[in-house]
Amino acid sequence: MIYKAQNKEIDLEKITRLYPAATVNAAGERAQVSLEWADMKADVIEIESYVLVFDIDPLEEVLKNRIELVYETKEALIVAMNDVAKYL
């Protein structure tokens, strides 16, 4: 099953990991973190965007193939997560 979003085509049958994250800036360092961590540290970090991450590599291999869909708001991310869930 192919999921299309943000001009990307993602073969959902090849996905080994699927998870949401937040891209944050904390003291000049940029990183992807869990949504829970971002919520807990909201007073000391800047959330730059929200990301839905699709990993394609087998679980035992080093991650090389990743597709990320980027959203400006947490609400848009949740809408996208619900949309992907319809296909799984």
Q: Where are the domains of the chain?
A: 2-85
**Exposed/middle/buried for residue 10 (C-beta within 10 Å: 0-12, 13-18, 19+):** buried
Q: What pLDDT band is residue 57 in, cutting at 50, 70 and 90?
A: confident
pLDDT score of 28: 84
| Average pLDDT of the residues of the chain | 92
Helices vs strands, H then E, count in the chain: 2, 6
Name, of 25-29, 59-63, 83-87, the range with top average pLDDT: 83-87
- Please give the pLDDT value at position 22: 97
pLDDT greater than 90 at residue 38: yes
Q: Which residues contact 45 (CB under 8 A, 6 or more apart)?
A: 24, 25, 26, 38
